[in-house]
Chain A
Amino acid sequence: MDVLAKRVPKVYGASYVFSVIVILMMLVTAMPSISYGQGDPTGAKTGTINDVPAATAGQPTIQELGNAVGHNSISINLVWTLLAGFLVMFMQAGFAMVEAGFTRAKHVAHTMGMNFFIYVLGIVGFWICGFAIMFGGVGSIGALGGTPGLTHEITMTLFGKSFGLFGGAGFFLNNNVYDVGIFALFLFQMVFMDTTATIPTGAMAERWKFKAFAVYGLFISMIVYPLYGNWIWGGGWLSALGTNFGLGHGVVDFAGSSVVHMVGGVAALAGAMVIGPRLGKYNKDGSVNAIPGHNIPMAMIGTFILAFGWFGFNPGSTLAGTDLRIAVVATNTMIASASGALFATLYMWFKYKKPDPSMMANGMLAGLVAITAPCAFVNASSAFIIGAIAGVLVVAAVFFIDQKMKIDDPVGAIAVHGVNGLWGILALGLFADGSYGDGWNGVAGPVTGLFYGNPGQFFAELIGGIVCFVVVFGLMYGFFKVCDKVIGIRVSREDELQGLDIPEMGVKGYDDSTSENMEVLPKLETA
């Protein structure tokens, strides 16, 4: 409430002195100079043959010149991969803000705590063994200078073919993998893993015991994510469906619609099913109560941060700044984010006469998730269509999961990441247009989808999706059930009603002095 206050600051003395200083500075800089000394203000003379490392300065041999070119090439790639990784790291802040904004104020320290600590647990788990399991057998990555030491993949022979199961090199980033390219790869892949790990914190928010969440954080970063990830990106058997069985280029997933988002979404589904809905979400007659989030601006800023970070997520997956396809990847990403948000908003506007901001945000994220696999392999119009379908899918999925399946997902994580993660790899199998990807997964020729004459690719993607769902759901559902039996994953009824901040975290996220955050509870039926 505004109570108009009248105050007129009088700072005459200071502003006079300030103006005099500014005028003097302008006079000094405007004075004409005859020479710039030894400096190079345009940059045209900076960087010459004298800067090429050579035994005789300024006279490099062809060998030395070649070395410099190769080194610069790898440097561009490595710097690009690292910078992209830093952008994806910032997405942790985006996820934290989206989840906190879409959940209630009384739980905010707990929600934020989970989103913060998952970053910590993820790094530790991935360093201990997650990276080794996922990339221990990936072999040489040329773009990063050869990544020597990642040559141990545990395989199984089936139908006369070699099935890569998981890697076994690089535990604790030991001295066998003490290589700049590998360290860059670790950082980049770690932030992708953390994106997966943070997805279930949204679906299970407002009732997850922090202790149980911490155990989960280690389990997903050390075992589950690396396992499926090895099969797609680590040289494992799903990526070899092309070389082994002639199915397109095997399962192709450029930046992780399945590896990152579908794994996260399926884990979220398993977790939400085991932990159960929030108190007051569903009535005995099955009707659904809305439990609105407490800070829409926070959630939308978080969505923008995620969209920004996605410019590292997708284009960074080339692992090479010298691969100029990054321009196509980035632009496809941007287009799909827009069509996703647009169609989700249109759907809500049409159905409920109001453009719900939370669905706008979910729509943009759905478009981004869906384009994550195909972004390098499709043209701009396909990117638009893929995003548009994602926008419609996410809204329909939210309703289906919330109202028909009666699974309480406070932020729509299952609909955004699970459903659209699957759509992303299927979309790749449909829309890949053959303009990129020659030699992908060891198969000659560019990556093409069903609409461009290659149904094998679509079937490979379908197999990938089915395997992802079955294995990840099986592992995570089993894990959550066991965890629930051993330590219990859900907080007590009193804690959930009062707010998790004090009982779980020991501090209140917001101080109580304003009445803004007082909640009027939805109808609670005493069980």
Chain B
Amino acid sequence: MKKVEAVIRTSKFEEVHSELSNIGIGFMTFSEVKGFGVEHGATQIYRGATYDAGFVSRTQIEIVVTDDRVDELVSTLMKAAGTGEVGDGKIFIYDVKDVIRIRTGEKGKDAL
């Protein structure tokens, strides 16, 4: 099993959510994150002094899937979350040692 972690634009989240539902992936964890890379945040001006916030806000999605679904998931993510502009984000893929459902104790693929 693999964990697919994607940092995407918050404005693209709804589209990503619905595209993933269409391919049958209806489970994920998401959170609001801050960070910076090429972009450092919009320039603001407050009482005559310009400054940039120093960070941009993004949404991070984490989905654990079986190995056979990873490629489909990644390509759907890239299609739905991309705009072609700097700041679209990144996808990270990790190995997952095990998955356990808390309610029943099921392990591995049965817990997904």
Chain A interfacial positions (CB closer than 8 Å to B): 1, 3-4, 288-290, 292, 351-352, 354, 356, 358-359, 398-399, 402-403, 412, 515, 518, 520, 522
Contact = CB atoms under 8 A, between A and B. Distances in A.
B48 interface: yes
A402 B47 contact: yes
Contact of A352 (B10, B45, B54): B45
A289 B53 CA distance: 12
Most chain B CB within a 10 A radius of its CB, from A4, A398, A402, A520: A520
A480 B96 CA distance: 62
Nearest to A288: B49
Given A1-B13, A1-B32, 15 more contacts: A1-B59, A3-B17, A4-B14, A288-B49, A289-B49, A290-B47, A292-B46, A352-B45, A354-B45, A358-B46, A402-B48, A402-B49, A403-B49, A412-B47, A520-B55
Interface in B40-54: 44-51, 53-54
A1 B59 CA distance: 9
A286 B26 CA distance: 54
Given A1-B13, A1-B59, A515-B32, A356 B47 contact: yes
Nearest to A520: B54
B48 A399 contact: yes
A1 to B, nearest CB: 6
Q: List the 5 shortest-distance A-B pairs measured between CB atoms, nearest first.
A: A290-B49, A290-B46, A520-B54, A290-B51, A292-B46
Contact of A398 (B34, B48, B50, B55): B48
Contacts of A398: 47-48
Contacts of A3: 17
Contacts of B46: 290, 292, 356, 358
Interface of B: 10, 13-14, 17, 32, 34, 44-51, 53-55, 59
Contact of A356 (B10, B13, B45): B45
B49 A1 contact: no
A107 B59 CA distance: 28
25 contacts: A1-B13, A1-B59, A4-B14, A288-B49, A289-B49, A290-B45, A290-B47, A290-B49, A290-B50, A292-B46, A352-B45, A352-B48, A356-B45, A356-B47, A358-B46, A358-B47, A359-B47, A398-B47, A402-B47, A403-B48, A403-B49, A412-B47, A515-B34, A520-B34, A520-B54
A352 B59 CA distance: 32
Contact of B51 (A1, A356, A412, A522): A522
B47 A1 contact: no
A402 B54 CA distance: 22
B81 to A, nearest CB: 14
B16 to A, nearest CB: 12
A289 B61 CA distance: 35
A146 to B, nearest CB: 49
Nearest to A409: B47
B47 A289 contact: no
B68 to A, nearest CB: 28
A116 B52 CA distance: 33
Contacts of B51: 289-290, 292, 522
B59 A520 contact: no
B31 to A, nearest CB: 9
Contacts of A351: 48
A520 B53 contact: yes
Contacts of B45: 290, 352, 354, 356
A403 to B, nearest CB: 7
A515 B55 CA distance: 14
A356 B17 CA distance: 37
A398 B47 CA distance: 8
Nearest to A514: B32
A3 B59 CA distance: 12
Contacts of B32: 1, 515
Contacts of A290: 44-47, 49-51
Most chain B CB within a 10 A radius of its CB, from A290, A402, A403, A518: A290
A520 B13 CA distance: 25
Contacts of A412: 47
A402 B17 CA distance: 47
A403 B53 CA distance: 20
A300 to B, nearest CB: 15
A4 B14 CA distance: 9
Contacts of A403: 48-49
Nearest to A518: B34
Contacts of B34: 515, 518, 520
A4 B54 CA distance: 30
A515 B58 CA distance: 13
Contacts of A520: 34, 53-55
A261 B82 CA distance: 55
Nearest to B41: A520
Nearest to A292: B46
A444 B87 CA distance: 74
